[in-house]
């Protein structure tokens, strides 16, 4: 949508004075954002909007038919200043850029999600929206310094690992995160809520069918269009982390993951695995290419992300495909479930029906996979490690030198949060 089309749409009268006023406010705020931070303004131009007088906050992102919509309560914008509205709109744009409504749609601890995601995005704003949490506020409550500019998942991991008494501080009624108490008799109008994350989750009564891949594609369509509409000079003004996140939207080369794993299964079934400890026979001068070593007792370990964003149907289909591939090479595999820790273990082999059921569906920690391998002293050179995931977790891990790892992504390969992941990242498309 062009800027002219957007402004024309905002001029349409929807029959309510408050709605017209809010439309004028939104228009003025986005024009200001376009002038100072073009990319954020372009993201906001791409977002459909609708009014909802029942919304408990000024605005928030909401899933509707696998599309994100910016929902606004016009009655709560009546006395909001333009600079406050700009900060709130930029806040929503940053939530979208980091795909928070997608990543945390099924997360069980939504109260902690709200704190972690707000802390993450507010660090890129000059002024934080009223009622949203900042890094300095969180540090005051926890009485500890936190690393700035981390991903929201890193802050979420910190919050989840807090002792119960510290977590309780975050939930005390009437307690602001700056440490001050709100007025006990304050009315809803006096305590204004700028942003709500309620729309990130599907209501239990919803008849919509959520699709992780479709939702990701729709978000990336918005980000790609916004990036293309942003001139090069304005891209240079973006914070480095924001720019890096947006550049992930570029297409990556598609490799058939089945073909790759079929080849690897064949190698270890014959007693051969890739190893950088040996020269590549065809190109011995290429130190980046592994050679092959012979080993006995091949092992395949499959770790399935237990997060709610990966559907049971997708997991079962993938495991069925892997079982058929293993059958041809007469290999068996251990299948584990993991989120913040590794849990259930089953055998995957011909003739046995796999009864895989997820439990919980909390935050994802890839580190627990490698901790499990290390603590159980599982060998490295004759082992293939497969991690089925949507990619959202921490950025840095200690892989204990386990290198023969294949990350099977339910989303795009460049959505894996781990920086410099060991092994190979494959997309499960097609």
- Rounded CA separation 407/310 (Å): 14
Contact 73, 51 (CB under 8 A): yes
pLDDT confidence of residue 207: 53
- Quick one: tokens of 406? 């294949």
Q: How many CB atoms lie within 10 A of CB 44?
A: 23
Distance CA 40, CA 243 (A): 11
Q: Does domain 257-427 bear CATH number 3.40.50? A: yes
User: What are residue 414's phi and psi, to 5 degrees?
Assistant: -80, 5
> Residue 311: which residues within 8 A CB-CB, separation 6 or more?
212
Tokens 């080369």 identify what position?
253
CA distance 238 to 167: 34
How would you write the pLDDT of the chain (430 residues) with one tens digit per residue?
555 555 555 454 344 555 558 889 999 999 999 999 999 999 999 999 999 999 999 999 999 988 999 999 999 999 899 999 999 999 999 999 999 999 898 887 889 999 999 999 999 999 999 999 999 999 999 999 999 999 999 999 899 888 888 888 787 654 455 434 444 444 444 446 899 999 998 765 555 555 676 888 899 899 999 999 999 999 989 999 999 888 876 554 456 788 888 888 887 877 655 555 556 666 666 655 666 554 456 789 999 988 756 667 778 888 888 888 888 888 889 999 898 889 878 887 655 666 666 665 567 889 999 999 999 999 887 789 999 998 888 989 999 989 889 999 888 888 899 988 888 888 886 5
Are the beta carbons of 26 and 6 closer than 8 angstroms? no
Question: Six-digit token pair at 301?
Answer: 């370990």
Q: What pLDDT score does 326 carry?
A: 86
> What pLDDT, on the 0 to 100 scale, is given for residue 314?
75
DSSP letter assigned to residue 337:
E
CA distance from start to end of the chain = 31
3-state secondary structure of 303: strand
In angstroms, the Cα distances linking 313 to 64, 385, 418 are 22, 22, 25
Token output for 194: 């700028």
Structure tokens at 392: 């959202």
**Number of helices (H), then strands (E), in the chain:** 15, 11
Instruction: Classify residue 11 as left (phi > 0), alpha (psi -120 to 50) or beta.
Output: alpha
Task: Identify the pLDDT of residue 404.
Answer: 87
SS (H, E, C) 219-287: HHHHHHHHHHHCCHHHHCCCCHHHHHHHHCCCCCCCCCHHHHHHHHHHHHHCCEEEECCCCCCCCCCCC
Rounded distance, CA 157 to CA 405, Å?
24
CA distances from 195 to 23, 123, 223, 226 (A): 18, 16, 21, 23
**8/6 Cα distance (integer angstroms):** 5
Q: Is residue 120 within a helix (H) or strand (E), and if so which, with residue range? A: helix 110-122
349-358 core/surface letters (b: 16 or more CB in 10 A; e: else)? beeeeeebeb
Q: What is the pLDDT of residue 124?
A: 97
The neighbour count for residue 324, using CB atoms within 10 Å, is: 12
Alpha carbon dihedral 196, 201, 202, 205, in 10-degree steps, equals -70
Q: Which of 309, 367, 369 shows the shortest CA–CA distance to 337?
A: 369
* In the chain, domain spans: 3-247, 257-427
């Amino acid at each position: 949508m062009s800027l002219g089309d957007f402004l024309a749409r905002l001029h349409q009268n929807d029959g309510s004075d408050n709605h017209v006023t809010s439309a004028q406010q939104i228009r003025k705020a986005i024009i200001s954002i376009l002038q100072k931070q073009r990319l954020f303004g372009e993201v906001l131009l791409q977002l459909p909007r609708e009014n909802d007088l029942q919304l408990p906050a000024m605005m928030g992102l909401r899933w509707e038919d696998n599309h994100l919509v910016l929902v606004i309560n016009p009655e709560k914008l009546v006395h909001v200043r333009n600079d406050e509205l700009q900060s709130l709109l930029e806040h929503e744009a940053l939530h979208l850029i980091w795909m928070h409504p997608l990543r945390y749609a099924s997360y069980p601890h939504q109260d902690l999600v709200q704190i972690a995601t707000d802390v993450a995005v507010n660090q890129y704003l000059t002024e934080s929206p009223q009622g949203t949490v900042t890094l300095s506020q969180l540090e005051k409550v926890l009485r500890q310094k936190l690393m700035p500019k981390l991903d929201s998942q890193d802050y979420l991991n910190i919050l989840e690992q807090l002792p119960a008494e510290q977590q309780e501080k975050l939930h005390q009624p009437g307690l602001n995160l700056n440490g001050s108490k709100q007025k006990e008799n304050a009315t809803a109008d006096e305590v204004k809520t700028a942003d709500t994350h309620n729309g990130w989750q599907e209501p239990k009564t919803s008849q919509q069918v959520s699709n992780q891949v479709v939702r990701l594609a729709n978000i990336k369509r918005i980000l790609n269009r916004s990036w293309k509409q942003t001139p090069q000079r304005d891209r240079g003004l973006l914070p480095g982390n924001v720019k890096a996140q947006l550049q992930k939207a570029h297409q990556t080369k598609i490799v058939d993951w089945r073909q790759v794993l079929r080849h690897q299964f064949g190698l270890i079934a014959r007693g051969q695995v890739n190893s950088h400890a040996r020269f590549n026979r065809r190109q011995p001068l290429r130190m980046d290419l592994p050679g092959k070593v012979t080993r006995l007792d091949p092992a395949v370990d499959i770790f399935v992300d237990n997060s709610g964003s990966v559907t049971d149907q997708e997991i079962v289909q993938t495991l069925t495909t892997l079982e058929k591939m293993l059958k041809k090479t007469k290999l068996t595999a251990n299948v584990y479930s993991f989120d913040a820790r590794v849990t259930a273990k089953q055998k995957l082999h011909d003739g046995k029906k796999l009864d895989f059921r997820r439990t919980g569906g909390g935050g994802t920690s890839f580190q627990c996979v490698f901790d499990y391998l290390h603590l159980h002293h599982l060998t490295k050179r004759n082992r293939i490690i497969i991690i089925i995931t949507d990619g959202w977790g921490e950025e840095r891990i200690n892989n204990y030198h386990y290198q023969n790892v294949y990350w099977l992504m339910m989303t795009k390969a460049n959505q894996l949060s781990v920086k410099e992941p060991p092994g190979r990242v494959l997309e499960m498309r097609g």
